[in-house]
């Protein structure tokens, strides 16, 4: 039998990594694993982008990223960073001048690959500017855009070994400029490739690792894929910050990322939610209630365990680990329970609102 004290305990010691800071958020060196997401709004549309970044912050993200396709987008970065209290990361490809503008605009992180911004002199300029402003750089290796030279060397395939070699080459370009404020990602859309690449990287260097399964898919499929890949790595103690990439509203990325960390005992606080699957005993339309309650309470900061159960026979008992829960019953009546003890009998129509009220009170 599982000891109660063992429930929710992390599965493995965390890999030792260096600590870097994105603004006030620590990454690596034993810092809490942070959840990232990326705005889908056009960075050139300042108002829309600010709006979305604020929503992602309210949903509980720790670090936010925006694409920087051109100079118009880069010039908006200062305003976007000021619109939120979280660190903003500028995602840059090919043009080193965008990186310099992003840094001067005051972003708190850059994602780029030193190998694709135009040579050693440009890397030097960017590394110098980033160092002067204390802005870390994420080396973002992606299986889909690996250098041709490395593909040729590794049999024409983006193998885990090829990905790690790419990361090491990119890191070396920054280290040559005496820049070590680095984190690294090695994303692939194939779970097995990504997991093996991160395992190799975890042994190859001690920079913090940003985990992700890239182009994972839509809300359901992408969440499953990300939970599988990131779950394996996190359970092995690998990973300092994560992004669940979804072809969905990015708020879902934040929700799924937070749920994943909570499920592995790597994040305290916020909502832990259980709902029974329902069966022939359930006389209410419970599943939409469970969906609404979870959505409504998902951005709570305080720690609270909530249960939505389909019947009074097993409801309070099955949900006894919950701080507060409801169980539907017979003839339009249901139960409100706390810690498995029934505290009120209520009309079924009132259960949902009462549960939300009680959970919000407890979370404060």
The footprint of ligand SF4 (CB under 6 A) covers: 276-279, 281-282, 309-311, 313-315, 318
Beta carbon nearer to ligand SF4, 140 or 334: 334
312/334 Cα distance (integer angstroms):
7
Nearest to 208 by CA among 174, 245, 240: 240
- Smallest distance from ligand SF4 to CB 293, Å: 15
Q: How far is the CB of 292 from ligand SF4 (least distance, A)?
A: 17
Round to whole Å and give the CA distance between 190 and 184: 18
C-beta nearest to ligand SF4: residue: 310
Structure tokens belonging to residue 162: 């090829």
Contact 298, 255 (CB under 8 A): yes
CB of 248 closer than 8 Å to CB of 225: no
Strand ordering across the sheet containing 182-187: 182-187, 137-142, 109-111, 88-91, 63-67, 34-38, 241-243, 210-211
Indicate the residue among 164 and 348 with the shorter CB distance to ligand SF4: 348
CA distances 32 to 7, 17, 230, Å, are 19, 12, 15
As measured in angstroms, the least distance from the Cβ of 318 to ligand SF4 is 5
> Whole-number minimum distance, CB 336 to ligand SF4, in Å?
15
Q: Can you tell me the distance from the alpha carbon of 261 to that of 234, in angstroms, rounded to the nearest whole number?
A: 8
Q: What is the DSSP letter of 65?
A: E
- Nearest Cα to 145, choosing from 71, 218, 94? 94
The whole-angstrom separation of Cα 297 and Cα 306 is 9
Which C-beta is closer to ligand SF4: that of 48 or that of 320?
Answer: 320
Which helix (H) or strand (E) covers residue 34, if one does? strand 34-38
**Whole-number minimum distance, CB 294 to ligand SF4, in Å?**
16
Q: Which of 310/334 has CB closer to ligand SF4?
A: 310
> Phi, psi at residue 147, to the nearest 5°?
-60, 140
State which residue, 160 or 334, has the beta carbon closest to ligand SF4: 334
The CB-of-219 to ligand SF4 minimum distance in angstroms stands at 24
From the CB of 306, what's the least distance to ligand SF4, in Å? 15
Q: CA–CA distance from 237 to each of 153, 172, 299, 332 (Å)?
A: 31, 25, 26, 48
In angstroms, the CA 109 to CA 90 distance is: 6
DSSP code per residue over 235-279: HTT--SEEE---SS-HHHHHHHHHHHHHHTT---SSEEEEE----
Which of residues 127 and 286 has its CB atom nearest to ligand SF4 in the complex? 286
Closest distance to ligand SF4 from the beta carbon of 288 (Å): 15
Least Å from the CB of residue 277 to ligand SF4? 6
Shortest reach from residue 317's CB to ligand SF4, in Å: 9
**Nearer CB in complex with ligand SF4: 115/325:** 325
Give the nearer residue to ligand SF4 in terms of CB position, either 129 or 327: 327
CB closer to ligand SF4, 123 vs 282: 282
Nearer to ligand SF4, 318 or 352 (CB): 318
């Amino acid at each position: 039998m599982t000891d109660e004290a063992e429930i929710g305990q992390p599965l493995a010691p965390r890999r030792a990594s260096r600590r870097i800071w994105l603004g006030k958020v620590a990454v690596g060196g034993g810092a809490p694993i942070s959840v990232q997401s990326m705005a889908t709004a056009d960075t050139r549309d300042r108002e829309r982008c600010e709006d979305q970044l604020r929503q992602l912050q309210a949903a509980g993200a720790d670090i936010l990223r925006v694409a920087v396709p051109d100079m118009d987008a880069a010039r908006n970065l200062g305003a976007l960073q000021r619109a939120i209290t979280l660190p903003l990361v500028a995602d840059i490809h090919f043009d080193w001048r965008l990186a310099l503008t992003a840094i001067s605009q005051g972003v708190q992180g850059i994602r780029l690959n030193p190998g694709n911004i135009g040579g050693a002199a440009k890397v030097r300029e960017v590394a110098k500017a980033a160092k002067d402003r204390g802005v870390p750089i994420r080396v973002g290796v992606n299986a889909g855009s690996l250098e041709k030279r490395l593909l040729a060397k590794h049999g024409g395939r983006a193998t885990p070994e090829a990905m790690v070699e790419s990361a090491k080459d990119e890191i070396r370009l920054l280290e040559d400029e005496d820049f070590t404020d680095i984190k690294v990602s090695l994303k692939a859309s194939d779970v097995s490739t990504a997991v093996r690449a991160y395992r190799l990287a975890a042994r190859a260097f001690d920079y913090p690792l940003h985990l992700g399964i890239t182009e994972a898919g839509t809300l359901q499929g992408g969440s499953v894929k990300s939970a599988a890949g990131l779950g394996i790595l996190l359970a092995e103690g690998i990973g300092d910050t994560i992004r669940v990439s979804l072809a969905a509203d990015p708020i879902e990325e934040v929700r799924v990322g937070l749920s994943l960390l909570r499920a592995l005992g790597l994040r305290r606080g916020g909502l832990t939610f259980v709902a029974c699957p329902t069966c022939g005993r359930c006389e209410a339309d419970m599943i939409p209630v469970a969906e609404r309650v979870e959505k409504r309470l998902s951005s709570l900061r305080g720690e609270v365990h909530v249960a939505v159960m389909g019947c009074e026979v097993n409801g309070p008992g099955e949900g006894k680990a919950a701080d507060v829960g409801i169980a539907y019953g017979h003839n339009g009546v249901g139960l409100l329970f706390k810690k498995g003890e029934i505290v009120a009998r209520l009309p079924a129509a009132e259960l949902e609102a009462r549960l939300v009220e009680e959970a919000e009170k407890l979370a404060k």
